[in-house]
Amino acid sequence: MGDHQIRATRGPLRWLTTTSHKDIGTMYLWLSFSMFILGGAFAMIIRAELYQPGMQLIEPEFFNQMTTMHGLVMVFGAIMPAFVGLANWMIPLMIGAPNVALPRMNNLSFWILPPTFLLLMSTLLMPGGAPSADWSLVAPSSAGNAVTSLTYFVLSVHLLGLSSIMGSINIIATVIKLRAPGMTFMKMPLFVWTWFITAFLLIVVMPVLAGAVTMVLMDVRFGTSFFPAAGGSDPLLFQHVFWFFGHPEVYIVILPAFGVISQIIPTFSRKPLFGYDSMVYATAAIAFLSFIVWVHHVYTVGGTVAQDLFFMYATLLIAIPAGVQVFNWVATMWRGALTFETPMMFALGFMVLFTIGGFSGLMLSSAPVNFQYHDSYFVVAHFHYVMVAGAIFSLTAAVYYWLPKWCGRMYNEKLGQLHFWVAFIGFNMTFLPQHFVGLAGMPRRIPDYALQFTDFNMLSSVGSFIYAASQVLFLYNVVATIVAGKPTTEEKVWEGAQGLEWTLPTPSPHDTFETPPLMK
Ligand code: CU
């Protein structure tokens, strides 16, 4: 009863006014997929230019705008809204709630996004183009020649932050207030736990980002001197403020991924998750540590040795809770009755490749060697193993895992397996060689390179086109499933599925858990 009944509106207005967590979850997922295609198109432009040394296709200034927009669109447009979409769909189903706690605010936090992304994209057409200082907005050069667009750019970052904060408040309120009787905190599924913790991270760091970009705006427009050295300030201040936001942001996109994997591995192992309690504590520990490691992004700017050492040890510590998670997944599979459907394949791909990204992260966290790797392609390879093989693989796994429950139709398994292998090969072909050119000294964010890097860059570009092609398979498979997939009415779509959401009818009806279920 209550707000969610507004969904009865019919026609196109239904999507504008809906307060159903399922409608809003679906819209989030489609929006994020469109932004994923857009951010991917920017990456294709970058890789096409880097296919050969020399300048072929685009101007260096435009290349820089592409790296900026690619990063921003992928982080704020593709990955974060996708996880919010999954949270919308799944958290109420997993805790036995009829809807999220604040359905109208949920509608608002979604509908802020499409116009905001249009605003962000429109900066590309403004005089001087979009800001071209990478997604980390390296302060002294933030404006570049793009003073006009910077204003709108900052506004769009504020709006994105607003949407994230509202989404987080909603998730926290839902988890605290709407759990079914008997659903204690320590019975919540891991996906709910990881999102609950992530929501707190978001609420803490989004205002920090907003403050940082506001100060940049004041410097550029109103002549303040928060960052410029000429005005007596320290340009490093910006880097510290930005990365105080930026590092926890990395965990904001990866903790829900851990949650997804912790749902999928037990299902296809036909065993309960191994080490549930330690998973919860490990997630909380990672969240806490993420606040005290940001200086590992700026080792090379000339801090004290004591400072670099503190942040190096703090960063290394994260390997412990992250290792606990990986060991628990392996222990869950140990002697399980394993099967390898598409969601499980992507989950296993996640485990292997994310672990590689974790290890290259350990290498980077070491202050002395970081002086060698800093701003090289090794860093690019590292964070794409975390962001793509980590976040995007887990999102793909989640869609294949829950899609049959959402729409009551089964996807094409053969096509799913093909999608996995094309994505897996394309991904590794793109990013594995970037480790090698990085170690050999190729700098990032430069549209041209020395001749000796040519072979690996060609391989990388061809790999990126293959990875892009795999997304066409994904889109086709999802649309074909929704339109004409084999109907399924099994409550448990997967034999080993565990949890409240699998006690509901398939396809998931519009209104669920109007009367809260009773947990044992
Ligand atoms: Cu970091």
| Digitized pLDDT (tens) for each residue of the chain, 520 residues in all | 344 444 455 677 888 999 999 999 999 999 999 999 999 999 999 999 999 999 989 988 889 889 888 998 999 999 999 999 999 999 999 999 999 999 999 999 999 999 999 998 888 888 777 776 666 665 545 555 567 788 888 899 899 999 999 999 999 999 999 999 999 999 999 999 999 999 999 999 999 999 988 888 888 888 888 888 888 888 788 888 889 999 999 999 999 999 999 999 999 999 999 999 999 999 999 999 999 999 999 898 888 899 999 999 999 999 999 999 999 999 999 999 999 999 999 999 999 999 999 999 999 999 999 999 999 999 999 999 999 999 999 999 999 999 999 999 999 999 999 999 999 999 999 999 999 999 999 999 889 999 999 999 999 999 999 999 999 999 999 999 999 999 998 889 999 999 999 999 989 888 899 888 887 6
CA of 361 to the centre of ligand 1 (A): 9
CA of 371 to the centre of ligand 1 (A): 15
Helix pair 113-122, 103-111: axis angle to 10 deg: 20
Domain chopping of the chain, boundaries:
17-503
CA of 208 to the centre of ligand 1 (A): 16
Q: Are 414 and 340 in contact (CB under 8 A)?
A: no
CA of 244 to the centre of ligand 1 (A): 9
CA of 315 to the centre of ligand 1 (A): 8
CA of 132 to the centre of ligand 1 (A): 21
CA of 196 to the centre of ligand 1 (A): 21
Structure confidence at residue 137 (pLDDT): 66
**Smallest Cα–Cα separation from 154: which of 226, 209, 214, 203?**
214
CA of 250 to the centre of ligand 1 (A): 7
CA of 436 to the centre of ligand 1 (A): 21
CA of 370 to the centre of ligand 1 (A): 12
CA of 442 to the centre of ligand 1 (A): 21
Structure confidence at residue 360 (pLDDT): 94
What is the C-alpha separation between 517 and 520, in angstroms, rounded? 10
Structure confidence at residue 301 (pLDDT): 85
Task: Show Cβ contacts of residue 326 under 8 Å, excluding neighbours closer than 6 positions.
Answer: 351, 355
Structure confidence at residue 226 (pLDDT): 85
CA of 135 to the centre of ligand 1 (A): 14
| Angle formed at CA 385 by CA 380 and CA 388, multiple of 5 degrees | 100
The pTM score is 0.93
Structure confidence at residue 217 (pLDDT): 85
How is domain 17-503 classified at the architecture level of CATH?
Up-down Bundle (1.20)
CA of 134 to the centre of ligand 1 (A): 16
Structure confidence at residue 338 (pLDDT): 95
CA of 385 to the centre of ligand 1 (A): 14
CA of 444 to the centre of ligand 1 (A): 17
CA of 282 to the centre of ligand 1 (A): 18
CA of 364 to the centre of ligand 1 (A): 10
Structure confidence at residue 398 (pLDDT): 97
Burial 379-405 (b: 16+ CB within 10 A, else e): bbbbbbbbbbbbbbbbbbbbbbbbbbb
CA of 284 to the centre of ligand 1 (A): 17
Kindly state the helix (H) or strand (E) to which residue 410 belongs, with its residue range: strand 409-410
CA of 294 to the centre of ligand 1 (A): 5
